[in-house]
Structure 1
């Protein structure tokens, strides 16, 4: 608004919104929700390339509300998972979204796993999580068909419908949500905010841009001119459903290998009553490569050209070979499941939809373990937010919103 003498001349804003969020998964929608809660009146637009919310990582996981027991005390994952689990249960209860606090078992099936299991007990207690140690007899009381040398029960783990959560966040945020808006170009100029062009030729201008584009977050960062310093290397997680769901009462996990961010093949009774088994972790041949038949040469070429991908292959080829074997052999996958559930047969395993984990990898091959959020001029980039990001989405959204609003105030 400009003043010319006593005459007031209104000038049309050069911006379509104050904060432009790219990505309509649970983290992007939580960010929009948090911004409008913290600063009412702030204009937020969310651009999502799919025709609805939560079509990728959010909608293709096992639906678990994670406790935070695995994560290094003091890390963002530990803090946000513990806090986020409680908030997610409260959010679901407030809005009538299907959920349950079930607890889960982490089971050691070999003597070599017992020290790691005891380490999880200590880590859980440091993170303020209720943990109960169980012997074989107590384990059988919880899960009659599961076998192991020892186990721990984690009381705060639960399950919910994350797609329903994402939809409610979209509705409750008051943000403008544009579906089918695939961002192909971004232009950031001093004093002019950030403008993006979508595949249909539309241009959207915002004062501040927030990048929550998950599997494509590194590419989005580069579109804005920021160097993310990492590359998304996609790993596909393949699932089965259990034809005899009565074999499993709740949630059963193996003791994870601390060298990897993956939790191993586990058993999850979902909110729909079915039991999911998986996932394994194999390299995907595309960012959205939900099967071996999905190959995108350009994306695969970028993964293979990243030095970190080859460092991973050299360091962990034995682990990767085992995962690939379970991917192509149902018998091998069944063998892995039988470590926990001896009664299962290959006929019990029915193929289910796969997911892809957006794993950030550094140039030296380091798998980024914690959530990673970086800032540039008038930009905030969420660069590593795989599991337990859905659990932790509400506190993550508040942190990203805080940074976006600070950037907005600075402009």
Structure 2
């Protein structure tokens, strides 16, 4: 088959198989096997040998151990009253800003994302406290729910991010550097969200009622004391990675122990809580692991078919500038995110997108954070945005109203992706500092 036709056949097969409702991991393997047999004319014996070798190598990767451990750490914390403690601890500081307690959504999700790594879990855990509390205090409902939908996506970006772990394993990129690279963009997005809330509330004070007198020093001290366990856990896990004391997998194991100790210290730990968290972590981890292995099989098929090189040559012949490639990928991922969840998007598209990015001269660390930033948009884009469903369940609003509330924060994510593209050092500054 001509090289120029191979990418068209492959991409068409992917959309055809997934459009039939086939499980993503099974669809990726089916596309790979069909492509190798009918396009490359490989025998079934050779295909079986390639597939078994890839599955055996990918399923026993040491880096994969970080995924179930980080998920377990977050699942343990999710089953405690940490969301209530976060609201209490952040409240004195949020009251200093225009918009008052609306900022608890942003600050709470930012902090919780640093121990969770899941976007829907972050939005659900923080929202079950902030949504009813803000509604009872008279804050604007649309701004409250929209900020939660947007800030809940931080679970995908702020380390320890499961999405960054998956990207690091699939692209063979340092997970520690990816974690370092995700910090500043996460903070920048949080500042953008809070700035938007402050500006809206300055323009229309009715959106946020006055909270009365300024917080006292005692309230600030109490807030810090309440937040201390979470801050210590965040610092301990990420600090051991950044200083080189532990690998991400080892730090994840220590994070699980830290979450157990925090839960036990607050007298909430039980065998049932631990077993429920363990079962949940096993289910999610099994799904992610099989996706990664399936993606590796598709990567092998794509490599045999020389698809990345063919597409790269097409871009060269079109004389497109590197920024045009990023613009095309941005639009492509936004559209794809309307129908497929973030993790599936990463494992499905990375075998094609990653070689293009490397050949175009972009830094793999930068692209990893950029990709996860764009994937964040899929969490709040209809019709399958997971955070939209979480938010609808928390508020009881119609799906249309939920989408309308989240839309300004979707636009802020798009703006954030553009800013990170124009100023890549926002992402690369800390990893480069780490390498010195």
Q: What TM-score does the superposition give when structure 2 sets the normalisation length?
A: 0.21
* TM-score normalised by structure 1 residue count: 0.22
